[in-house]
Amino acid sequence: MLGNSKNVSSSQKFLHPKLFALLERHLASSWQEPVRTVDLPALRKLDDLISEGHESIVLDSFCGTGTSTRILAERYPDAMVLGVDKSHKRLQKAEPLPANATLLQANCEAVWRHLAERGTQLARHCIFYPNPWPKATHLSRRIHGHPAFVYLLALGGIIELRSNWQIYVEEFGSALSYVGVSASVRVVSAGELPVSRFERKYYASGQILWRLRARLKRGESC
């Protein structure tokens, strides 16, 4: 139900003190976790889609029910738009999508690594309202604390992340800054079109929403 969402609750009030040490460790090594069987069908389909030769790829990570994927496909009709979420239940709720959009059931981290290892470059990477893992002990589960963050960086493109937790967005920006990427963080204005079910829900609850944008490769404007 819209309008009844609680604000993120966390004992962490500032940037996590162990963020940069964790980043340094991940940057100095590679993620060794084997590919999960559950991710294999999506990764094979991903290879088939990319082999079709699309010049522009937009990735919608943690897409949920695909609302944001549909909006992105309509916004970028000349791009191949890929929505990825690990939840079969959420993906089953998706409405029909434009012909240039596809939904894949997989862990996003596995998709980032697969794309990076095959040398794929994104035009845009959208991360709209992932789980922020607000407990301080869960830093390594956040995107910027996960070893797959290195693969995310390698995908290039314009990256946009949104959340209703300001610390999460600013922490992601600090992680980008640590690797030499400048990011802009600001409040999502009331006049901007909601891009996900979560955004509509949080906005209806009167929460302040935050957005980060950064360019991970040259030649495009944020």
Q: Across residues 182-194, what is the average pLDDT?
A: 83
3-state secondary structure of 103: strand
Question: Per residue in 163-186, pLDDT tens?
Answer: 989 999 999 999 999 999 999 999
pTM: 0.92
Residues 130-140 have pLDDT tens digits of 888 999 999 99
d(CA 13, CA 25): 24
**Which CATH code of 3.40.50.300, 2.60.40.1730, 3.40.50.150, 1.10.800.10 fits the domain covering 19-215?**
3.40.50.150
- Count CA within 13 A, CB hemisphere, residue 176: 26
Asked if residue 214 lies in contact with residue 176, where contact means CB atoms within 8 angstroms, the answer is: yes
Ranges assigned E (strand) in 99-141: 101-105, 124-128
Task: Report pLDDT digits (tens) over 40-87.
Answer: 999 999 999 998 877 899 999 999 999 999 999 999 999 999 999 999
Q: How confident is the model at residue 4 (pLDDT cuts 50, 70, 90)?
A: low
Token output for 125: 């990477």
Check residue 1 and give its pLDDT.
45
For range 26-46, the mean pLDDT: 95
Q: Domain extents for the chain?
A: 19-215
Give Cβ neighbours of residue 96 (< 8 Å, ≥ 6 apart).
none
pLDDT-derived band at 196, boundaries 50, 70, 90: confident
Q: What is the pLDDT of residues 92-137, one digit of tens each?
A: 999 999 999 999 999 999 999 999 999 999 999 999 988 889 999 9
Q: Where are the beta strands (DSSP E) in the chain?
A: 57-61, 80-85, 101-105, 124-128, 158-163, 183-187, 210-215
